[in-house]
Copies of this chain bind each other. A is one copy, B any other.
Amino acid sequence: MIKRLNIRTNKRNELVDITYEIRRLVRESGVREGICVIFCPHTTAGLTINENADPSVRVDISEHLSSLVPENKNYKHLEGNADSHIKSVIVGQSLSLIIENGDIILGTWQGIFFCEFDGPRSRYVLVKII
């Protein structure tokens, strides 16, 4: 019961709301109670949960991370995306969510975001439901 969710990103840095798609995968699985692990198999992207009501929140998150980890610095990795790797470490690559009554539990204002730090690219995440 591993599902794959494909994601198309459009900018170098972008938080993509994948809440609807994750909820759909969980509902389709038929699992009523359990755990949902979402895993990002990329080294220049990540996963997080935050507000999906006001779209300016995700812009602030993305822009502030870029101020903490600038794109251009004297990095040793020479592919031009050392900052993307560092942001991935700060944000994290896996989420563990709780399933109840056939749906994941999220707070009122919470959405699940794929964090692109080296786009635009074709990406995917893996979802395991137990």
B107–A85 contact, CB under 8 A?
Answer: no
Whether the Cβ atoms of B94 and A96 lie closer than 8 Å is yes
The answer on a CB contact under 8 Å between B85 and A42 is: no
Residues of B within 8 A of A40 (CB): 107
Contact B37 A98 (CB under 8 A): yes
Also in contact, A130 and B34, with CB within 8 A (given A51-B43, A77-B56):
yes
Asked whether A109 is an interface residue with its Cβ less than 8 Å from the other chain, the reply is yes
**Known A2-B100, A97-B94, A130-B34: A41·B107 in contact at CB below 8 Å:** yes
Query: How many protomers of this protein does the assembly include?
Result: 3
The yes or no answer to A25 lying at the interface (CB within 8 A) is no
- The answer to whether B69 touches A64, judged by C-beta atoms less than 8 angstroms apart, is yes
Known A-B contacts A43-B107, A54-B77, A110-B43; A61 and B35 likewise in contact (beta carbons under 8 Å): no
Does A119 reach chain B (CB closer than 8 Å)? Answer: no
Are B37 and A96 closer than 8 Å at their CB atoms? yes
A1 to chain B, nearest CB (A): 8
**Extra contacts besides A49-B94, A51-B85, A56-B82 (7): CB < 8 Å:** A39-B96, A39-B98, A43-B57, A43-B109, A57-B85, A89-B91, A130-B130
